[in-house]
Chain A
Amino acid sequence: MDELDINQTRRDLLIAGALSATAAAVPSVAAAQAAGTTRNETPTAPVTSKVALTVNGKQRELNVDTRTTLLDALRENLHLTGTKKGCDQGQCGACTVIVDGRRINSCLTLAVMHNGAEVTTIEGLGTPDKLHPMQAAFVKHDGYQCGYCTPGQICSAVSVLDEIRKGIPSHVTGDLTTAPLLTEAEIRERMSGNICRCGAYSNIVDAIVEVSGRKA
């Protein structure tokens, strides 16, 4: 079997798996709430639940398997594939999105936990015709190589400047009783939840410094 065949097989399997899960989704969330006594059995068929959330300014309603992470809901259900799945365990930051004004790892939270939430993904920050200033700065400073971590880096970078503006301290803030300063050290520490395997870190810091308005 050559490499292409392996890929084809894996893809078919994934699609088949997704279809069977949807078809089997019957019991509702309410089923558990209705029971008055202790339930012993583990549900065997997938459980689905409705969730309504605003994504990049648009109201979206989904019926998802309770196991669906916010990341998978964005990518697989809403087809917003700008947000990337790297490690899927909160270590790499590729899945970073902004929820209710704060950046989080979308891989470590369930879609059903975000009813009523406002989510901003990389698609909501800017478009190819109208780049967000942070996107433009990443392009200008070459803040990437392969680009896979870039949407998460940019969502984090936008949040970093917001967090410093709001006076949220960091591990490298010298005096906790005063507002944090906008320094390279602060930016680097605050970006530590976003890994770049290509090692574009110094250019990423340059891009963020430029958008901050501070002279480098």
Chain B
Amino acid sequence: MKVFTYERARTPAEAATAVMRVNGARFIAGGTNLLDLMKLEIETPPHLVDVNGLGLDRIEATPDGGLRVGALVRNTDLAADARVRKDYGVLSRALLAGASQQLRNKATTAGNLLQRTRCPYFYDTNMPCNKRSPGSGCSAIGGYTRGHAIVGTSDACIATHPSDMAVAMRVLDAAIETVKPDGSTRVIPIADFHRLPGNTPHIEHTLAPGELITAVTLPKPVGGKQFYRKVRDRASYAFALISVAAIVQPDGRGSVAVGGVAHKPWRLPAADEQMARGGKAVVDQLLAGAKTTEENAFKIPLVQRTLDAVLAEARKG
């Protein structure tokens, strides 16, 4: 691990200012992803600003009947919150499908959104990777691609976003609240938060330098039956091959977001409109134009079958 200096921030504004003082400085909260990458020297921040003392660890009701989840709420606490379990079941399910209990006890809401891809070529510092060293090339393209993205990809990167939580937040239309180093705040809809790789796969989200996530808000509960179905190589503690987050209303309409297929949680309004017509109609829209390889072409029928299974369960009494 490279040498770094360390400080603890006391307020969100102080943290945002502190991180701007040193070029390449990073916030650290749970640290479960950042420290792993620092050990491999994929991340080499010269300075860490510890944001664990900012008090952003509460889940509060919002005036419009939704929930405001502090950036530092641990994955365990968000999944176990009675309001989340009752009204946002897809989010509890997604969180509980991710990582291990030890990691969920540390990992935070904001950190989960910001976690980096688990593309094996990103992790292998002996291989070119446009995300790790911009311009060096993509080893995944033409490499072993079983776990890689099939939609929204570019010639520069075919990595997926690894989060389960973010897929549920996408189907719930969550929004991300931030503070910038100048003290100004803004709200970013989750649809606009993660970026597609394009020519700059190293830029993964729309946060400005020094901008700190303070909370994630969930709109008023939409009811319906909520599902998070994750398909992976073992029954627990593995990243998704694909995952389906769905909310199905009694009349069959609803919304669906998919994980494991793109650089961000994948959802399209045109696909949501097909929900009452079944999995194939949805997937024909959702994964239209998918660029697959022999190794990951299975993801299209797997998404469809998983969604069909979810829709069948929703129809049960």
Q: Which residues of A contact B (CB under 8 A)?
A: 27, 29, 31-33, 35-47, 49, 66-67, 69, 88-90, 93, 96, 102-105, 108-110, 112-113, 115, 156, 159-160, 163, 167-171, 173, 176-177, 188-190, 192-194
Contacts and interface: CB of A to CB of B under 8 A. Distances in A.
A192 B7 contact: no
Contacts of B93: 171, 176
Given A110-B35, A176-B92, A39 B23 contact: yes
A112 B235 CA distance: 35
Contact of A67 (B3, B31, B79): B3
Interface string B163-182: 00000000000000000000
Contact of B32 (A41, A90, A160): A90
Contact of A105 (B23, B106, B235, B236): B106
B5 A31 contact: yes
Given A27-B5, A168-B79, A169-B92, 8 more contacts: A31-B5, A39-B46, A42-B3, A42-B4, A67-B4, A90-B103, A93-B100, A109-B30
A45 B18 CA distance: 21
Contacts of B6: 29, 32, 47, 49, 66, 110, 112
Contacts of A192: 100, 235-237
Closest 8 CB pairs of A and B: A193-B100, A192-B236, A32-B5, A42-B46, A192-B237, A176-B85, A102-B105, A171-B96
Nearest to A180: B80
A5 B130 CA distance: 42
A134 to B, nearest CB: 16
Interface of B: 1-8, 18, 20-24, 28, 30-32, 35-36, 39, 44, 46-48, 50, 52, 76, 79-80, 85-86, 89, 92-93, 96-97, 99-103, 105-106, 235-237
Given A35-B21, A96-B102, A168 B76 contact: yes
A117 B48 CA distance: 19
A42 to B, nearest CB: 4
A98 to B, nearest CB: 10
Given A105-B32, A177-B85, A177-B86, A190 B5 contact: no
Contact of B35 (A102, A109, A168): A109
A32 to B, nearest CB: 4
B7 A32 contact: yes
Contacts of B47: 32, 39
B97 to A, nearest CB: 5
B44 to A, nearest CB: 8
Contacts of B235: 189, 192
Given A39-B21, A69-B35, A105 B102 contact: yes
B23 A89 contact: no
A110 B4 CA distance: 12
A21 B50 CA distance: 23
B246 to A, nearest CB: 16
B105 A38 contact: no
A137 to B, nearest CB: 20
Given A38-B22, A39-B22, A66 B4 contact: yes
A117 to B, nearest CB: 11
A42 B102 contact: no
Contact of A104 (B8, B28, B105): B105
A97 B97 CA distance: 22
B36 A90 contact: yes
Contacts of A44: 3
Nearest to A65: B3
A131 B18 CA distance: 47
Contacts of B44: 42
13 contacts: A27-B5, A32-B22, A38-B22, A66-B4, A90-B103, A96-B102, A102-B105, A105-B103, A110-B6, A110-B28, A168-B79, A171-B93, A188-B236
